[in-house]
Amino acid sequence: MKHILVPTDFSKNAERALDYAINIANRFGSTIYLIHAYHTTSHAGHLANIDRIVHDDRSKSMEDLIFSKKDELKEGSSLQGKVTKGYITNSIEGAADKVVADLVVMGTLGSNQPNVFMGSTARSLVKAMSKPTVAVPIGAALTVPTRVVVAIDAYSMSHPTVFAPLIKMVKRFDAKLHLVHVESDAMNTDIDPKIKEYLKEAKLAYTYTKIETEDVTNGILSFTEQKEADMLCVVSRQRSWFSSLFHSSVTQKMTMATDIPILVLHD
């Protein structure tokens, strides 16, 4: 976990995500790369002027933010920032590849979005990213996770090493790991057996629970609450439960868990 990318729009939620990332970085000795992407539109004759003004303004905000966090960095961790012109999703995807990010940590909201679990920009980023991503709500505790719930569906994994970033964090933080699978009353399903084999080879202790319910979202959230988890991990796949997070009805339900960061792994 040597390279952590943190997108920022300089909002309070983005700063909260940075604080969360710093806590992780301080345990791994990581370098945090802050990135701010902006996009301007104007008549051709005024565009250069506007670009310069916006870039200078955002660069000053970046410098101030980095300076304000320097005393929080420990154990060899470091923080650097970049301001770039471009569309947010493309810019952040490109930055993640350029710095070879092991993890992306981002806020779930920008400014002026109360009572919403995940804003439109955050949803777009999480869907587009191929890197492991932690979405940090504004109410999240600024501690490393100690109790992690992993929601797993019944589809086969391309390879269980998808869970490698999670395993690194669980081992480093000495966290408890709870796997949960939700099956409907009509179907007897289970998780891919390769996952259990992989965790056994990694010598990682865990619990595994199957829940019978037709409401997958409430089943997972209730289990997360029962275990007093401080992180929920999900695997992003085209047909997985995670994809339903982008439907408004499910997103509304997720407001009950707005204080729990979500680690998204991509398969």
Per residue in 90-101, pLDDT tens? Answer: 888 888 889 899
Provide the pLDDT for residue 117. Answer: 45
- What number of other Cβ atoms are within 10 A of residue 260's Cβ? 22
Burial 51-67 (b: 16+ CB within 10 A, else e): eeeebeebeebbeebbe
The amino acid present at 67, given as its one-letter code, is: F
Higher pLDDT, 192 or 128: 192
CATH 1.10.3720.10 fits 3-136, yes or no: no
Instruction: Give the span between the Cα atoms of 95 and 84, in whole angstroms.
Output: 10
Instruction: Give the span between the Cα atoms of 263 and 157, in whole angstroms.
Output: 17
Segment 64-88 shows an average pLDDT of 93
For residue 6, give Cα distances in angstroms to 30, 35, 210: 12, 6, 34
Instruction: Give the span between the Cα atoms of 103 and 82, in whole angstroms.
Output: 17
Is the pLDDT at 118 greater than 60, yes or no?
A: no
Provide the pLDDT for residue 52. Answer: 85
Same fold flag, 3-136 and 147-266: yes
Q: Please tell me what DSSP assigns to residue 139.
A: T
Taking only the tens place, the pLDDT of each residue in 217-264 is: 788 888 999 999 999 998 876 555 555 554 444 444 554 455 889 898
Higher pLDDT, 111 or 245: 245
Taking only the tens place, the pLDDT of each residue in 154-167 is: 877 788 788 999 99
Taking only the tens place, the pLDDT of each residue in 197-213 is: 999 999 999 999 999 88
Pick the CATH number of 147-266 from 3.40.50.620, 3.40.50.11810, 3.30.230.10, 3.40.50.1980: 3.40.50.620
Query: For the chain, what is the mean pLDDT?
Result: 83
**187 band by pLDDT with thresholds 50, 70 and 90:** low
The domain segmentation of the chain, as residue ranges, is 3-136, 147-266
Q: Which residues contact 133 (CB under 8 A, 6 or more apart)?
A: 103, 104, 105, 106, 125, 126, 263, 264
The whole model's pTM is what?
Answer: 0.86
Taking only the tens place, the pLDDT of each residue in 12-27 is: 989 999 999 999 999 9
Provide the pLDDT for residue 60. Answer: 96
